[in-house]
Every structure is written in structure tokens, then in C-alpha cells.
Amino acid sequence: HRLTARLVTSTASADPLGLLDVRNGTWHSELVAAAGPRPGQLPELVAPGAICGGLVESAARLTGLKAGTPVVAGA
């Protein structure tokens, strides 16, 4: 979230957490309820390779990259 100001992760990165409904690519509501995270604590899910957003100004200054550079979800 520090790169784009969005709380987002790929389904591939979220899978090891054990709360993912892999068939639908969403958080599994029953598993999430049993684990106890509150709404908003889990990131938005996107497909691996999806653009999560543009690099924010503060991250651009720290990395030397141009603000707005696309940030892509990992696999």
C-alpha cells in the first residue's frame, strides 16, 4: 500500500494465507469469519500481473522512479 496508496494483493500472493476461495478468486467468507480479521484488514484481491495503481509521489522520491509508474501485482 505504500507504493500505490491501495491495499491490494494478487490471489497468488494471498493463497498461502489459507483464507482464499481459490475457485472464485475471492476471500472465503467462512474462513475469514473463523480467522477473525475485521472488514478492511484484508487487501483487495487482483489477478497476478494486474496493475494495482500508479506509484505515489512519496514512493517515487524514495525509489527514484517516476510518479505514476504502474505497479503490478506479483505472482
What are the sequence ranges of the domains in the chain? Answer: 8-72
Is residue 75 scored above 90 in pLDDT? no
Q: Which of 12, 9, 15, 46 shows the shortest CA–CA distance to 28?
A: 15
Q: Residues near 40 by Cβ (< 8 Å), separated by ≥ 6?
A: 7
Cα Rg of the chain (Å, integer): 14
Strand 8-10 relative to strand 44-46: parallel, antiparallel, unpaired? parallel
Q: The pTM is what?
A: 0.82
pLDDT digits (tens, 9 = 90+) for 10-62: 999 999 999 999 999 999 999 999 999 987 899 999 999 999 999 999 999 99
